[in-house]
């Protein structure tokens, strides 16, 4: 099911790390009829507001890149928010995409959907085979529900909704807020600030903290600290996050292995799939089209399910795990990542690992053979990517 250059494409979450990269990639390919709304303009957890948006815009395709995300600390603090907000957004966008006749939908999930002890590298078939990692269970359950919504709509109604599961992402427009950022941007900002403290570059520290104020909690009270605070207040706030004069304390042992994908590579893979891959291609059954689309009227999808599809076709067997892993298929330890960040920042101080803090899953490498079979491979290696991210971060502080 092709989309031409005039197709209207709604990118939900177009200001975020994922959405902004997909938006830019579509533009580079000549797809400029793009629609986006900031969170202030459209709250995707508001069912009536989402329905009104779809009534007005009537997009041909949807990229659902909006999500409530964060690292281990955020997952631990905001468990209810992670499951509720993500489920609300997904339900609202997917249900309205269906009711408004959207031709193609791309759902962005995460490889945290896989069990904590899944065989490595993790194939798509590992989904739901054993318990999840406790620290991100709520977010993972929400994302599993999202991919199952896509799969189930396809099976019941013959829609063309595809779910992709990117590995750990990093790149332009990353989230560097210390309370809820992922491992690489948090690590990079901490190491950079520790260097600035040692250099006594208070102007740069003030600029950084004005750009992204930090919040500390003491005796049940939350306090917001920005660049207008005193030196001691800033030092105390940064120490709260393990940032000291020429020393950084990171959570865990540093031994967990992680895979990282440059966000612009992820966007290129996602847009490649959006434009070139249909659900029938993933399922790998040639007769899928005739079974699911053959009884539609005047080429339209049979939304009343009058053909009696009912979500399962015995002749096709069980259809599941239709999502696609997106990654590099390569990994490194958190300690090795920290060493790359130290090199990029030019940090000469000390790194310590607080082993009393959780590591999370010890290994999360994905199998990307399905992605490769669909005609896409990554371009940016981690060594280059860390340098590119720090250059972006420094440039962004000047703006």
Q: Is the Cα dihedral 174, 180, 185, 188 positive or negative?
A: positive
Short-list 194, 185, 176, 182, CA closest to 248: 194
* CB contact at 8 A, 206 and 227: yes
Short-list 153, 182, 188, 179, CA closest to 64: 153
Contacts of 199 (CB under 8 A, 6+ apart): none
Short-list 185, 164, 211, 186, CA closest to 67: 164
Q: How many Å apart are CA 219 and CA 221, to the nearest integer?
A: 6
Across the strands, what pairs with 11? 63
Give the three-class secondary structure for 192: helix
Give yes or no: 139 in active site.
Answer: yes
Catalytic residue among 139, 153, 161, 241: 139
* CB contact at 8 A, 255 and 356: no
DSSP 133: P
Short-list 254, 246, 251, 249, CA closest to 193: 246
Short-list 398, 376, 361, 392, CA closest to 328: 376
Catalytically active residues are: 139
């Amino acid at each position: 099911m092709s989309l031409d250059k005039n197709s209207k494409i709604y990118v939900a979450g177009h200001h975020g790390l994922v959405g902004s990269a997909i938006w830019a990639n579509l533009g580079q390919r000549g797809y400029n009829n793009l629609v986006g709304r900031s969170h202030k303009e459209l709250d995707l957890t508001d069912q009536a507001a989402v329905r009104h948006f779809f009534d007005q815009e009537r997009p041909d395709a949807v990229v659902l890149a909006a999500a409530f995300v964060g690292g281990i600390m955020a997952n631990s603090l905001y468990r209810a928010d992670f499951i509720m907000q993500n489920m609300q957004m997904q339900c609202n966008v997917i249900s309205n995409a269906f009711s408004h006749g959207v031709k193609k939908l791309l759902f962005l999930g995460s490889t945290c959907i896989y069990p904590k002890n899944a065989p490595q590298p993790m194939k798509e078939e590992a989904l739901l085979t054993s318990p999840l990692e406790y620290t991100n269970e709520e977010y993972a359950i929400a994302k599993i529900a999202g991919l199952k919504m896509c799969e189930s709509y396809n099976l019941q109604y013959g829609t063309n909704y595809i779910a992709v599961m990117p590995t750990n992402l990093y790149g332009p427009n990353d989230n560097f807020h210390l309370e809820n950022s992922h491992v690489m941007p948090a690590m990079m900002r901490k190491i950079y600030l520790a260097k600035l403290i040692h250099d006594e570059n208070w102007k740069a520290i003030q600029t950084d903290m004005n750009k992204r104020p930090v919040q500390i909690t003491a005796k049940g009270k939350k306090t917001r600290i920005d660049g207008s605070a005193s030196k001691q207040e800033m030092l105390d706030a940064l120490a709260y996050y393990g940032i000291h004069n020429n020393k950084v304390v990171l959570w865990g042992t540093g031994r967990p292995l992680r895979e990282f994908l440059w966000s612009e590579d992820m966007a290129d893979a996602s847009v490649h799939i959006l434009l070139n891959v249909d659900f029938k291609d993933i399922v790998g059954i040639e007769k899928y089209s005739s079974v699911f689309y053959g009884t539609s009227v005047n080429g339209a999808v049979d939304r009343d399910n009058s053909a009696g599809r009912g979500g399962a076709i015995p002749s096709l067997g069980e259809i599941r795990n239709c999502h696609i892993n997106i990654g590099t298929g390569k990994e490194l330890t958190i300690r090795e990542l920290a060493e790359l960040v130290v090199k990029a920042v030019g940090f000469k101080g000390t790194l310590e690992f607080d082993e009393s803090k959780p590591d999370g899953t010890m290994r999360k490498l994905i199998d990307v053979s399905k992605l490769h079979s669909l005609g896409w491979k990554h371009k940016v290696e981690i060594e280059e990517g860390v340098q590119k991210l720090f250059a972006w971060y420094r440039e962004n502080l000047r703006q």
